[in-house]
Structure 1
Amino acid sequence: MNSQEQQQHTQVKYSEVSPFQISDGFRRNSRMEPVKTIRIFIAAVAANISAFAVGTCLGWTSPVAPKLKAADPVDSPLDRPITTEEDAWISSLVALGALVAPFVAGPLADRIGRKWVLLSSSLFFVLAYILMMVASEVWILYVGRLIQGFGVGFVMTVQPMYVGEIATDAVRGATGSLMQLFIVSGLLYVYAIGPYVSYFALQWCCLVVPIVFTVVFFFMPESPYYYAGKGHKSDALNSLQFLRGQSADVVQDEMTIIQGEVEEAMANKGTVIDLIRNAGNRKALIISAGLIMFQQLSGINVVLFNSQSIFESANTGLDPAVATIIIGCVQVGSSGLTPIIADRLGRKVILLISAFGMAVGLAALGAFFYVQQAIGDASNITWLPVPALVVFNIVYCIGLVHCHGRCWVKCSRRMLSPSPRRSLLPLAGYSASW
């Protein structure tokens, strides 16, 4: 073939490319449009303001209990000091409310949506803090703490579900780790403010948090999985477009995948017994239940609820409020480093290290109080309680709480998917966490 024939052949080849092929090429290029992960993180952070509110509830008793127990109740809504038994009830009733709430929050999340159930948690928090302000009797504080627990249970059940469903696989681990970071940040917020403001000022400071959450999260989209489960495909596409920052054509592929997952879940008519019969599900249930049991038996809630009172009883020479703030800072720092450390060492190794470290921390703290009570003079080891609880909180945040949080996200994604049946297993797991 001479040069003239080659030129003619080339012209024919180019002329055979249709406009439709060119258009299809542009369409393929548009599908390379990257996901704007910043939007996913904005929605995840907005949702996690509710986790910050959970932290304020968990840490509330630490600065408030000394005010309520003071012999001269100047900075207390009550006209008398509370007893030790009343103090215990005020501390623990939030856990009772959180224990019951998942059995309501789970079905509601499928009925009215993840977003609206999360927003409804603010009603519990706001009502609780208003009751705390007007309380003149101990029983009103009981009711307030119980209502706080309902809000905590709503958030801890639905928030992992929402965050897990809006995230891509690439960032799901990072967004899932935000919950613990925001919870301990809420704890630090109360630890840092509570000892230095009045009882009533603290309630206002805590009341602001759910209000901010409501305003910010109101503008976030609903989970595309919820919309897909309800058959609202256009709403699901709009939600995906907002979260991914991409055009409708680009998110269509992901929408197809979501629709397939939802249809598979809808077609699954199995019962709880059917789930347990599966060997993989049984192993997952045993491991998850073991983590939950281990967390509850670790004593972490006692430490979180009563940090300031523990340091007051220890009489370490360090201001109990300052010591509690140190613990809060340690929790925030540890939670921030957790994803990096856990990914490098692996979940099993980090859990073993966490268990050993927590045992060492509690043993040291127990030894201090034993010496203080049995011998009567612990002046030589007054330095021990602070580092003991520092170690305890570091290894707890790095190990147990991170793996436990990942279980919650996995459980929300796999077992609380849109389906006509509602498995009691994950809800029972959330409930048992308290």
Structure 2
Amino acid sequence: LEEEAKPWLEANGKPEIQKSKPKLYEVGSSRISVVYKSTTQEEPPSLPQIFAAVSAGSFHIVVGFSLAFSATLIPQLEAPDNDVNIESIEMPWLASVLVLFVPVGAMMAGFIMEYLGRLNTIKIASIPCLLGFLQEYQQVWEQVQPLYTSQKVAKPELRGALIATSPTLASLEIHSRGAYLHWRTAAWTSIIYVVLPLLLISIWIPESPVWLVARGRVDEAEKSLKWLCGQRVSLRGGERGENTIPEQQLAALVKSQDMKALVVTGFWGRMSGFARPTGFKPLLVLFGLFFFQQFSGIYATLFYSVELFKDVGSDLDPSMATILVGLMRLIMSFFNTALLRRFGRRPLCMLSGCGMALCMIVSGFGTMHIYGGGEGLGWLPVVCVLLYVCSSMIGLLSIPWTMTAELFPTEIRGLAHGITISLAHILMFLSIQSYRGLRDMLGGPHAIQWFYAAMALGGVIFVAVFLPETHGKKLIEIEQYFRTNITYIGQKKPPVERTENGAPPTG
């Protein structure tokens, strides 16, 4: 972009930025330099960005309900007074069938959001959900919100926390219903959680400015940036202090290679991006991360929470224990949002995996003690499972989902996000479907808890070796990492940029 803007800069002179030293904040693209401008030392207000992210992510309340629904549905269907005849062999399919259809919605979202925009994709997905058709459509929301947030949030240190509003809002639903409502009533009442967020994004929230600029809708992009920032905005490389985006800067932006890729490149052009290191490396890293996430039992224990507490031999009412699981997820999700702003992804994931492994190891011994006829430790597995849930919320549950919107370059991000989420849900389907089979094959509830502990420790090792740190990093820095590195350990440092006389830049 700097090369494209050089002729204009030579004709008009370089902008004087040393006097006020305005702070520039990145918006969603690695090389498309759309920035918020602050003419003082104060940072742009975060409130509009937070409101936009929460509004778009509020659809995840319904997603959270869907994820927790099987934990309520299966015990009620297995009750003697149930009016629906379901064979026991069909129960794992009830728990996992929703996840099986998610890749369909994820892949559709990857294409639709590129052509119709992030918010329009959410609106379209709301229609079949309200009608009760095509259950996989509601998973489109799960794919769109992180992309929408990543292309709107200016400050890199705020990006991860806002993307993480998705699991936070999903946790609101998980603990609130199910134990005391009939499964049909719980399903009907979920409609309200579609209508309210739809009204929010339809009335107040603007479309992603990066997507609007890519489609040539400059006036709308300018309004979107102003709304998000609360101040005047500009494109990098042009004068500051203007209320509108200069035409010269916009011309340079449209000429840039990234913008051509967004506007011109078709399906196969985007697919070719996966042949480059910046495409296939993050895909492999995320696949490995999701593999250890899923087979460490995070979602299997959620879908089978009632059955799990029965398996561990606890005296606590399983329905009450399930509510406690949801409550722990809710509380920890807010802590997680704060942690993502202050700490890196790598230490949080490693701390999370170690905590999960320790809890499952101790819980397994407690369960074995109970099944062996021991007394006095009925509380131990319950406490360990709840602490396991808390540990998962610190990192391994939420961070992999947020990183899908951080690791890929702009030109393939929408498609890559859809592919990654599809693979993640295929792994989720396998982990949920295999819960009962693994439990019986390995030798009982204590054995599967130890299996989950081993997978959590495997995730810690994988993160230490392969996962790059993205906290506080610009998207172009993340892209540069994948160009030159395979493992995080022993990574190559990017070359230091120098001025024409060979000295490092001073500003």
* TM-score of the two chains, using structure 1 as the length reference: 0.76
Residue 108 of structure 1, CA deviation = 0.4
Farther-moved stretch of structure 1 (61-70 vs 31-40): 31-40
Deviations 1:45-68 (A, max 9, x none): 111111121111101111222111
Alignment match of 1:159 (pick from 136, 145, 154): 145
Deviations 1:86-118 (A, max 9, x none): 221111011111122221111100111110111
Match of 2:421 in 1: 430
Give the Cα separation in 2 of the matches to 1:254 and 1:37. Answer: 28
Where 1:53 maps in the other structure, the secondary structure is helix
The 1:274/1:174 distance shift into structure 2, 3 A limit, reads closer
1:5-404 equivalences under 5 Å are 32=39, 35-73=44-82, 79-128=83-132, 147-152=134-139, 154-169=140-155, 171-189=158-176, 193-219=177-203, 220-247=205-232, 249-250=242-243, 252=245, 260=253, 263-268=256-261, 272=271, 275-278=274-277, 281-341=279-339, 346-370=344-368, 375=372, 377=373, 379-404=375-400
Give the Cα separation in 2 of the matches to 1:105 and 1:413. Answer: 18
Verify the 8 A CA contact 2:117 2:211 in the aligned structure 1.
yes
Where 1:71 maps in the other structure, the secondary structure is coil
Verify the 8 A CA contact 2:148 2:208 in the aligned structure 1.
yes
Give the Cα separation in 2 of the matches to 1:343 and 1:336. Answer: 11
Match of 1:141 in 2: none
Farther-moved stretch of structure 1 (176-185 vs 89-98): 176-185
Residue 275 of structure 1, CA deviation = 4.1
Residue 381 of structure 1, CA deviation = 2.6
Larger Rg: 1
Give the Cα separation in 2 of the matches to 1:235 and 1:319. Answer: 54
Deviations 1:220-246 (A, max 9, x none): 211112211211111211222222233
Farther-moved stretch of structure 1 (92-101 vs 405-414): 405-414
Specify every segment of 5 or more residues in structure 1 that has no aligned partner in the other structure, as ranges. 1-24, 74-78, 129-143
Verify the 8 A CA contact 1:164 1:413 in the aligned structure 2.
no
Residue 276 of structure 1, CA deviation = 3.6
Verify the 8 A CA contact 1:334 1:394 in the aligned structure 2.
yes
Residue 253 of structure 1, CA deviation = 7.5
User: Residue type of the partner of 2:39?
Assistant: M
Farther-moved stretch of structure 1 (205-214 vs 358-367): 358-367
Instruction: Provide the alpha-carbon RMSD of the alignment.
Output: 3.2
The 1:244/1:255 distance shift into structure 2, 3 A limit, reads farther
Give the Cα separation in 2 of the matches to 1:258 and 1:61. Answer: 53
Specify every segment of 5 or more residues in structure 2 that has no aligned partner in the other structure, as ranges. 1-18, 23-36, 234-241, 426-507
Residue 345 of structure 1, CA deviation = 5.2
Verify the 8 A CA contact 1:354 1:399 in the aligned structure 2.
yes
Verify the 8 A CA contact 2:65 2:190 in the aligned structure 1.
yes
4+ residue runs of structure 1 moved beyond 6 angstroms?
Answer: none
The 1:392/1:251 distance shift into structure 2, 3 A limit, reads farther
Residue 148 of structure 1, CA deviation = 3.1
Verify the 8 A CA contact 1:72 1:81 in the aligned structure 2.
no
Structure having the larger proportion of residues in helix: 1
* TM-score of the two chains, using structure 2 as the length reference: 0.66
Where 1:166 maps in the other structure, the secondary structure is coil
The 1:44/1:297 distance shift into structure 2, 3 A limit, reads same
Deviations 1:25-47 (A, max 9, x none): 9xx9x963763422222111111
The 1:260/1:277 distance shift into structure 2, 3 A limit, reads same
Farther-moved stretch of structure 1 (92-101 vs 305-314): 305-314
Deviations 1:192-220 (A, max 9, x none): x2111233321232121112121222122
Give the Cα separation in 2 of the matches to 1:210 and 1:85. Answer: 33
How many corresponding residue pairs?
Answer: 374
User: Residue type of the partner of 1:185?
Assistant: L
Alignment match of 1:406 (pick from 398, 402, 416): 402
Verify the 8 A CA contact 1:161 1:416 in the aligned structure 2.
no
